[in-house]
Amino acid sequence: MSDFKALSEAVNKGDTKTALVEAQKALDAGSRAEEILDKGLITAMNEVGDNFSKGLIFVPQMLRSAKTMQECTNLLQPFFQEGDVTSKGKVLIGTVKGDLHDIGKNLVSMMLEGAGFTITDLGVDISPEKFVEKAREVKPDIIGLSALLSTTMPAMAQTIEALQKAGLRDKVKVMIGGAPVTEKYAQQINADSYASDAGSAVNKAKALLGIS
């Protein structure tokens, strides 16, 4: 069995053309789609996330690698066996009420997906009520809240309160992030975790669920 090194390297470089060729090669050689995903793609994206957190690569490279992974995942899609792919966890994510900023949220969603999580992205300007409604529906392991304005940060506390009132608070882990958000604020509003960028969001998410 191949070691998927060429595939991982292509994902790392954001070289979609080569990555697709390598992914197809692996399929043709008899590798299971789930193994290609895990060892070739997810492993590469974990490295991408780490490199980003370390400041070795930047947002454009991260986006490029994520796009490459997405294309490869599309290629593999028809070949996944029933019950083969286990998601690392379900994440419900959105930008809080009154806030339309989505760049950070999109980066985090992308990196979590690249790490093997299943993402439901609600978009922007999401009220506490909507978070609760969707949480009931999706039953996520983690709820991610994003805010870019200091004036919309209070909506994070309101959302946590709404989850509490709905009896859902102890069924999920809440992770928050965004430019004005801090570790201190996360503790203040009793969030479970805070992540400062898309790279560390992956590590924090894994830590919340006790997985690696």
Partner 1 sequence: MIIVGEKINTSRKDIEEAVKNRDAPFIIGVAREQAEAGAHYIDVNAGTFVDKETECLSWLVETVQSEIDIPLTLDSPNPEALAEAIKRHKGVPMINSISLEEERLQSLLPIISAQPCHVVALCMSQTSMPTTVEERVAVGSELIKKLTDAGTPLEMIYVDPLIQPVSVDVNMGPAALGAIRKIMHDFPGVNTICGLSNISFGLPKRRIINRNFLALCISYGLSAVIMDPTDRELMTTLITVEMLLGQDEYCGNYIEAYQNGHLI
Please, which residues bridge with residue 151 across strands?
none
Question: Smallest distance from the beta carbon of 57 to partner 1, in angstroms?
Answer: 10
Q: Is 2 in the site for partner 1 (CB under 8 A)?
A: no
Q: Is 211 in the site for partner 1 (CB under 8 A)?
A: no
Give the x-and-dash track for 44-63 against partner 1 (CB under 8 A). Answer: -----------x--xxx--x
Question: Smallest distance from the beta carbon of 8 to partner 1, in angstroms?
Answer: 24
Using alpha carbons only, what angle is made at residue 69 by residues 85 and 145, rounded to the nearest 5 degrees? Answer: 80
C-beta closer to partner 1: residue 58 or 137: 58
Question: Smallest distance from the beta carbon of 147 to partner 1, in angstroms?
Answer: 11
Enclosing H/E stretch for 52 = helix 43-53
What sign has the CA pseudo-torsion 136, 182, 125, 200? negative
Give the x-and-dash track for 79-118 against partner 1 (CB under 8 A). Answer: -------------------x-xxxx---------------
C-beta closer to partner 1: residue 32 or 130: 130
Q: Token pair 């201190």 is at which residue? A: 184
Residues 6+ apart with CB under 8 A from 65: 11, 12, 13, 14, 44, 45, 48, 114
C-beta closer to partner 1: residue 120 or 182: 182
Report the site for partner 1 in 144-173 (rule: CB under 8 A): 149-151, 153-154
Rg (CA), the chain: 18
Cα–Cα distance for residue pair 156/130, rounded to 1 Å: 13
Q: Is 209 in the site for partner 1 (CB under 8 A)?
A: no
The distance of Cα 128 from the centroid of its chain, to the nearest Å, equals: 21
Contact residues toward partner 1 (CB under 8 A) are 55, 58-60, 63, 98, 100-103, 124-125, 149-151, 153-154, 180
